[in-house]
C-alpha cells in the first residue's frame, strides 16, 4: 500500500525518520508551516523558514524518495504578536504561489484570542483569493467550541467547506465537521488524545469519506509512522483495503489536490533516488558516505 501523510513537520525529524517512512510505504507528505517551540523574534526568520519548506526540506525528502509538499501560513500562537504578525502577512503572498505549495496552513485558533481571529480571517481571505485549500489547526483546549468557531468563520469569509480541511478532530467534533461538508483530518498522537485504536472505531462508525489521518510528527513526542501503523491496525480490525486507502492516501490527495499542485499521478511508478545530487552545494551525506543512486541502466559495474 502507498501512504500519504498530510501533516508532518519533517524539519524537526531525522534522516532515520525519512528512511523509516519510505520503507513503510509513505510516498508523499505535506509539511505545514507552524510554531517552532519558541517565539520567533523577527520577520526574517519566518522568511527563512518558509524558504526552507520549499527548498532544502523538499530536497532532503527527495533523497529518500518521498515527495514533499507544504502549506504556508502564520500559526495561531504567533498571531498573538500583532506587530510581527502584520509583517508576516506581507510576505505570505511571496510564498503561497510557489510550486508544491498546496494550501494555506496550519492556521486557526490556539487560545481563541481576538488577534488569532483577526489573522485567521485575513489568511482565509488570502486562501480564497489564491483559490488554495486551507489546513485548519483546531485548539487542544476548548476543542469543540474552537472547531465550531473555525468552521463558522471559514463560511463567513466565503470559503466552500469542500476546500477546508479541519485538523486534529476527535470523537466530539467529527460528526459536525462531516455533516457541514468539511474534510475531517485526525492526528494520531501517541500516549494522549487520539490513539489509533480510537481511530479505527471512528472509521468504523463514520466510514471513510472525507476523513484523513496524519501523524503531525514534530519536535515533540510523536510518531512519524502513525499513518502506516494505523492502516495496519485497520486491516487487522477488518476494515476494507479500499476504505484504508481513502483515509491514508486518496482523500488527502483529493483535498489538497484542489490547489492544482498535487495529483495522484505524482506517485505513479517508483521515484528514483540519487543521493549524489546537491541542493545549493549541500547534500544529505557526510564525509566518506557512499550515495545511494537508483539506476535504470543495464550496465553493471
Binding site for Zn ion (CB under 5 A): 34, 216
Q: Which three cell numbers stand for residue 100?
A: 508544491
CB 41 to Zn ion: min, Å: 21
CB 8 to Zn ion: min, Å: 8
CB 204 to Zn ion: min, Å: 26
Nearer to Zn ion, 70 or 284 (CB): 70
Nearer to Zn ion, 244 or 256 (CB): 256
Nearer to Zn ion, 136 or 154 (CB): 136
Strand partners, 298: none
C-beta of residue 224 within 8 angstroms of C-beta of residue 215: yes
CB 31 to Zn ion: min, Å: 9
Nearer to Zn ion, 17 or 244 (CB): 17
CB 35 to Zn ion: min, Å: 8
Nearer to Zn ion, 195 or 207 (CB): 195
Amino acid at each position: 500500500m502507498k501512504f500519504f501523510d498530510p501533516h508532518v513537520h519533517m524539519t524537526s525529524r531525522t534522516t532515520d525518520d525519512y528512511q523509516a517512512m519510505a520503507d513503510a510505504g509513505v510516498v508523499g507528505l505535506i509539511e505545514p508551516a507552524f510554531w517552532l517551540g519558541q517565539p520567533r523574534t523577527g520577520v526574517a526568520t519566518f522568511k527563512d523558514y518558509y524558504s526552507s519548506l520549499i527548498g532544502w526540506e523538499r530536497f532532503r525528502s527527495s533523497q529518500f524518495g518521498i515527495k514533499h509538499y507544504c502549506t504556508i501560513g502564520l500559526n495561531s500562537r504567533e498571531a498573538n504578536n500583532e506587530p510581527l504578525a502584520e509583517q508576516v502577512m506581507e510576505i505570505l503572498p511571496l510564498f503561497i504561489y510557489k510550486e508544491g505549495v498546496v494550501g494555506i496552513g496550519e492556521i486557526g485558533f490556539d487560545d481563541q484570542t481576538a488577534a488569532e481571529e483577526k489573522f485567521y480571517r485575513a489568511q482565509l481571505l488570502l486562501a480564497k483569493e489564491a483559490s488554495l485549500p486551507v489546513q485548519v489547526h483546531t485548539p487542544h483546549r476548548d476543542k469543540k467550541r474552537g472547531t465550531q468557531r473555525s468552521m463558522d468563520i471559514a463560511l463567513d469569509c466565503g470559503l466552500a467547506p469542500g476546500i477546508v480541511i479541519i485538523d486534529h478532530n476527535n470523537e466530539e467534533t467529527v460528526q459536525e465537521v462531516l455533516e457541514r461538508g468539511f474534510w475531517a483530518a485526525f492526528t494520531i498522537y501517541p500516549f494522549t488524545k487520539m490513539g489509533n485504536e480510537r481511530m479505527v472505531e471512528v472509521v468504523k462508525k463514520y466510514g471513510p469519506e472525507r476523513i484523513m489521518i496524519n501523524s503531525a510528527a514534530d519536535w515533540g513526542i510523536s510518531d512519524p509512522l502513525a499513518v502506516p501503523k494505523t492502516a495496519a491496525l485497520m486491516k487487522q480490525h477488518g476494515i476494507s483495503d479500499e476504505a484504508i486507502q481513502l483515509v491514508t492516501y486518496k482523500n488527502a490527495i483529493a483535498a489538497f489536490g484542489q490547489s492544482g499542485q498535487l495529483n495522484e499521478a505524482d506517485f505513479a511508478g517508483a521515484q528514483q533516488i540519487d543521493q549524489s545530487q546537491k541542493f545549493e552545494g549541500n547534500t544529505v551525506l557526510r564525509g566518506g558516505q557512499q550515495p545511494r543512486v537508483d539506476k535504470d541502466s543495464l550496465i553493471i559495474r
